[in-house]
Structure 1
């Protein structure tokens, strides 16, 4: 992975934190009570680069890459993929926040990060002040709504749910094309114009790694 990537969070600290199962890469900055921000698929902590200057005025922001994403470590997949369950991620993130000195904090998550956030709220309510989830519904509700038009919009759900290594092999054959098509398909204009050039450089860099494709 390229270590000379564009700086997206000027003035923020870059920290790597070892927990029992994951080495988290994260950025920390701002001032105020702690707020953990969790990104979604297929992105990294960089998604918050335009939000951080506003939230950082009122909160100390902690912006990790989820396990297997960005520059965090890639836990072994294993047969059951248990290392990548939302429950395991929530537990590891609680440990990460404790290492940073935050026994109690707020959390906001987008997409897959939102699912980690509400798993965290169910499993560790004593650690959380507030929870915000963005752009998600309960997983069972999504599956129940899968008729033709909705299924076409979220085709990746069925694709990514296929047994390994089918999705991994297809994505890794042309990872940047898959990444950019996926991101563009979720925008109103169906293109990448709303993403900054620098953010896309970050995303393209780590998404070329076959191990990270499998992890995500």
Structure 2
């Protein structure tokens, strides 16, 4: 897994990140979602490494990266804080500007990085996500049925106890579906109390502070200035919830937004790696 990639722990100003990086070419930062770690990219990253220097961290709070000391410190778990981690990480590796792709919860950090640090992000790819503010403002019965966990995960203490009582029953996953090493890394995360707490902090920040950062951007007229490409899993629920996914994103960008659906379940990097890699290569090399 990740042949010819280097694995290391890298200190950034506010935390320590576990990072896998390799390849040659323009820098491309890949951000995983919940409840995965950077190993979710194990099929995609080697394909991309033929054309890019690929950087795959565990986000703050996830995997083997550092955890906020206070799980209810929403600023420490915010996408704004994680965006600072991303910029500092890429600076550490020698990159002032980079391509960026984020999946699921990682898409929110990717979006915030491009919004807060527009000079750093050359192009942005969003996978299976819409802005947090859009998700919350459009919350209806269908959203509540599909994404009820957003609100449960934001509660105090109860979600940790529910998840840790039987993590694999809660999240699913298997060696057969995820690959042996990827599954082992995922399992070590969802069975670790501090990591579960760190991952849930991402949801708590979303409900309490991240959407306010989005709202401030909208009220001030701030928009993405880099090219934006949006991909979503056709077997997941984004089209069911929002219909035309690109129309949700267009008001947040100064440029026309491109994108399409990929025939996959939610974890497209694991389920449709060739199609995903093709889309990312086409977008980032255009």
TM-score normalised over the length of structure 2: 0.66
Q: Given the alignment of the two structures, is residue 160 of structure 1 paired with residue 143 of structure 2, yes or no? A: no
Q: Which residue of 1 aligns with 2:252?
A: none
The 1-side partners of 2:176 and 2:81 are apart by 35
Q: Given the alignment of the two structures, is residue 201 of structure 1 paired with residue 180 of structure 2, yes or no? A: no
Q: Given the alignment of the two structures, is residue 136 of structure 1 paired with residue 136 of structure 2, yes or no? A: no
How far does residue 15 in structure 1 lie from its aligned partner after superposition?
1.8
Q: Which runs of 5+ in 1 are unaligned?
A: 1-7, 184-190
Q: Which residue of 2 aligns with 1:186?
A: none
| Segment of structure 1 superposing worse, 76-85 or 38-47 | 76-85
Structure number having the greater helix percentage = 2
Q: Which residue of 2 aligns with 1:69?
A: 62
TM-score normalised over the length of structure 1: 0.86
Q: Which residue of 2 aligns with 1:83?
A: 76
The answer on whether the counterparts of 1:77 and 1:215 sit within 8 Å (CA) in structure 2 is no
Structure 2 CA distance for partners of 1:79 and 1:43, relative to 1, 3 Å: closer
Structure 2 CA distance for partners of 1:156 and 1:193, relative to 1, 3 Å: farther
SS at match of 2:96: coil
How far does residue 128 in structure 1 lie from its aligned partner after superposition?
1.3
Q: Given the alignment of the two structures, is residue 175 of structure 1 paired with residue 162 of structure 2, yes or no? A: no
The answer on whether the counterparts of 2:61 and 2:198 sit within 8 Å (CA) in structure 1 is yes
Give the RMSD, CA atoms, in angstroms. Answer: 1.7
The 2-side partners of 1:192 and 1:17 are apart by 28
The one-character-per-residue Cα deviations of 1:19-65 (angstroms, maximum 9, x if unpaired) are 11110111111110000000001100011111112111110000000
The one-character-per-residue Cα deviations of 1:114-140 (angstroms, maximum 9, x if unpaired) are 110110111101111111111001222
